[in-house]
A and B are shown apart, each in its own frame.
With several copies, the nearest count.
Chain A
Amino acid sequence: MSKPLNIDRLRKEFPILKTKINNNNLVYFDNAATTQKPIKVINALDYYYKNINSNIHRGIHSLAEIATKEFEKTRSIVKKFINAKNEEEIIFTRGTTEGINLVANCYPKKYLKENDEIIISEMEHHSNIVPWQMICKEKKLKLKVIEINKKGELDLNSFKSLITDKTKFVSLVHISNSLGTINPIKKIISICRDNDIKILIDGAQASPHININVQELDCDFYVLSAHKMYGPTGVGVMYGKSKLLNEMPPYMGGGEMIKNVTFNKTTYNDIPYKFEAGTPNIGDVIAFKEAINFINEIGKENIQNYEKDLKNYTLEKLQNIDGLKLVGDAKNRIGVFSFTIENTHYYDLGLLLDAKGIAVRTGHHCTQPIMDKFNIEGTTRMSLAIYNSIEEIDYFIESLKKIINK
């Protein structure tokens, strides 16, 4: 089906990997924060601005036509990528954060009333906590939190025990950005279906790594960020079932999202446009298409196989380092590793690794509640992507040991 992975050739597609950092080769392990971009994405941006830049949808001149077609082509490719039913279910946003805010704002306005309950989990990114806190305060809803166990896995009993007949919505991360845990969302969605609860899945970390099929999952909303899946910054996708999108009120008002405007009465446009007010991020949406093409050309199966090897290799090496403590030990996980080192602060460690050219992230990774849970201030997080190599992991482990044993 799909070609075997040629890692050397694949790495050549990423110009930034040739960069020197503090006189060392860049070793980029900050992929959970943002991924690097293949040359075809960069070239697509370049091509757009040099050849077809134009405002879209309303124009009838050639550039407007071409740009509109390219823009809508991305919508169609995204639809296939997550297997949505219709293109109109694909809404372009700035990123995962905007997608969640959109749903947290518009869904409750239409469907929820005082004292209704929303459930999130202890392992959510701040972007899947704060919007719900804000709307719960505004609309007097109740926010409940699923607990996680010591391994950093969702406690399904905790989830079930939280459900009451007032529970109307669940918002849950697909893969945790600080623990790497893959949540059993299929099971959770089916519990939601049984209890007539709508559910949003935060796919920011899942989208570059595992297969996504929203129809099979049967989730109501799914959100992701292009920049975390080899695409440009400033673009995200909010998938929603068309029935819900049709019924929900719009988020922002402005150009594009209206059918008719008078001072007496304004009627809104059909979906997806109803939720895309103003000039969108045209250039980046068009270039995002090439990121999905990049993923499709390798194939999600190949990606999963290769990344699983990298993950297992890294896990074993990390577990053998004295004084290193992994935070999160889920059975079902991806190659995102948070850890602490005895007697070495993550800030010092991050800088010392950077001196060797290695980029990792340090701190709370926008998941303070997890840090509180594990009673730590922060961690060092090393996260993998498709262009990382065994050699890079060896170099990282070796560097880590040198720093610790100093």
Chain B
Amino acid sequence: MKKINTIQKKIIEEFKILDQDFEMTLNYLMELGDKVPPIKEKYKIEENIIKGCQSQVWLTYKLNNNGFTFSGDSNTEITKGLLSLLIRIYSDCSPKEIIDSNLFFIEEIGLNRFIGTQRSNGLKSMKNKFKIFALSNI
């Protein structure tokens, strides 16, 4: 829990220089996305998919005593960048920590628009996928 909040605060700090400028934020997210290693084709199965209206995301995990290790991918760079933030926040957490967590960094770095509407609900359904994985391992 504490760890989750600490990383969120770090992310908020890192995004500060972007000053909520939408274009710079997008470009930064794409840079982050670029660094995410693609996942193997064999993980791109129904079970791991998060279907958005326009972008697709795959998320898979390993769980051992140190907590979760996630890897993920997306067909769009910006979504991959968003995903990488969630992976960073939730990595090494226990199922319970994820379930109890509360994401507050989204509003603070001006990414509201990625959770707002029901259809283009990228961030929201990604977040839910993490929680589903956590819930099924408790």
Any A–B CB pair closer than 8 Å: yes
Which A residues are within 8 Å of any B CB, using their own CB? 22-23, 57-58, 60, 62, 65, 68-69, 72, 345-348, 350-352, 354-356, 362-363, 378, 406
Specify the chain A residue showing the minimal Cβ separation from B79. Answer: A347
- Which single member of A22, A62, A347 contacts B55 (CB below 8 Å)? A347
- Which single member of B22, B53, B77, B117 contacts A345 (CB below 8 Å)? B77
A356 pairs with B54, CB closer than 8 A: no
B interface residues, how many (CB within 8 angstroms):
20
Given the complex, which residues of A lie within 8 Å of B116, measured CB to CB?
A: 65, 68-69
Kindly state whether residue B128 has any CB partner on chain A within 8 Å. no
Kindly state whether residue B119 has any CB partner on chain A within 8 Å. yes
What is the CA–CA distance of A22 and B19 in the complex, to the nearest angstrom? 12
Q: How far apart are A21's CB and chain B's nearest CB, in angstroms? A: 9
Kindly state whether residue B118 has any CB partner on chain A within 8 Å. yes
B120 pairs with A60, CB closer than 8 A: yes
A355 pairs with B119, CB closer than 8 A: no
B55 pairs with A345, CB closer than 8 A: yes
Given A58-B53, A355-B23, A363-B54, A348 and B119 touching (CB < 8 A)? no
Given the complex, which residues of B lie within 8 Å of A378, measured CB to CB?
A: 54
Given the complex, which residues of B lie within 8 Å of A350, measured CB to CB?
A: 54
Given the complex, which residues of B lie within 8 Å of A58, measured CB to CB?
A: 53, 119
Kindly state whether residue B75 has any CB partner on chain A within 8 Å. yes
Q: How far apart are B53's CB and chain A's nearest CB, in angstroms? A: 6
A68 pairs with B54, CB closer than 8 A: no
What is the CA–CA distance of A346 and B120 in the complex, to the nearest angstrom? 14
Given the complex, which residues of B lie within 8 Å of A57, measured CB to CB?
A: 53, 117-119
What is the CA–CA distance of A388 and B120 in the complex, to the nearest angstrom? 27
What is the CA–CA distance of A355 and B22 in the complex, to the nearest angstrom? 6
Specify the chain B residue showing the minimal Cβ separation from A270. Answer: B118
Given the complex, which residues of A lie within 8 Å of B75, measured CB to CB?
A: 345
Given A345-B55, A345-B75, A363-B54, A351 and B26 touching (CB < 8 A)? yes
Kindly state whether residue B30 has any CB partner on chain A within 8 Å. yes
Given the complex, which residues of A lie within 8 Å of B27, measured CB to CB?
A: 406
Kindly state whether residue B102 has any CB partner on chain A within 8 Å. no
B77 pairs with A72, CB closer than 8 A: no
B117 pairs with A362, CB closer than 8 A: no
What is the CA–CA distance of A117 and B117 in the complex, to the nearest angstrom? 40
Given the complex, which residues of B lie within 8 Å of A69, measured CB to CB?
A: 116-117
Kindly state whether residue B101 has any CB partner on chain A within 8 Å. no
What is the CA–CA distance of A34 and B27 in the complex, to the nearest angstrom? 29
Given the complex, which residues of A lie within 8 Å of B55, measured CB to CB?
A: 345, 347
Q: How far apart are A338's CB and chain B's nearest CB, in angstroms? A: 14
- Which single member of A22, A23, A68, A351 contacts B78 (CB below 8 Å)? A351
What is the CA–CA distance of A133 and B76 in the complex, to the nearest angstrom? 33
Given the complex, which residues of A lie within 8 Å of B23, measured CB to CB?
A: 22, 352, 355-356
Kindly state whether residue B35 has any CB partner on chain A within 8 Å. no
Kindly state whether residue B113 has any CB partner on chain A within 8 Å. yes
Specify the chain B residue showing the minimal Cβ separation from A67. Answer: B117
Given the complex, which residues of B lie within 8 Å of A406, measured CB to CB?
A: 27
